[in-house]
Structure 1
């Protein structure tokens, strides 16, 4: 349910009641700016997805994309960087 910032300010109690059934999108200058959600929903969202460290995310990425990474590494070993073969064009003058 989208509401304007003015409506959210003037009818805050009503907006909070609406947020218990569905997130309320607060628009500023006609664009989505903020979201008001029911506290229990926010708590469920933040506790459901535990935060992972950068090392954990990197490990998961490497495991999920190991074939692609190996292909890229093979290509690099065989051909070096794609830009290494570029030559500056010099026009006839």
Structure 2
């Protein structure tokens, strides 16, 4: 399940979270592919934000033809991470 929003021929993927025991098994890739299949005829572009420190997610999205386009700093403080830089990842649909 990947929460998403479609607006003006674009889809924003909110987030994808997998417990550590389910990572590196192809599950995240399958979830993204499934989400893309469900919106591919309705949109021209998919985008999402990924923490700059989340190397695994960035690597996965690049394998799925997403490109790193921009970054944003936030003032949001998290008890889980001091990383406040988010990378905009986007993919244009064929």
Per the shorter chain, which TM-score range?
under 0.3
Using structure 2 for the length normalisation, give the TM-score: 0.21
More strand by share: 2
More helix by share: 1
Using structure 1 for the length normalisation, give the TM-score: 0.22
Task: Compare relative contact order (CA 8 Å, sep 6+) and give the higher one, 1 or 2.
Answer: 2
Larger Rg: 1
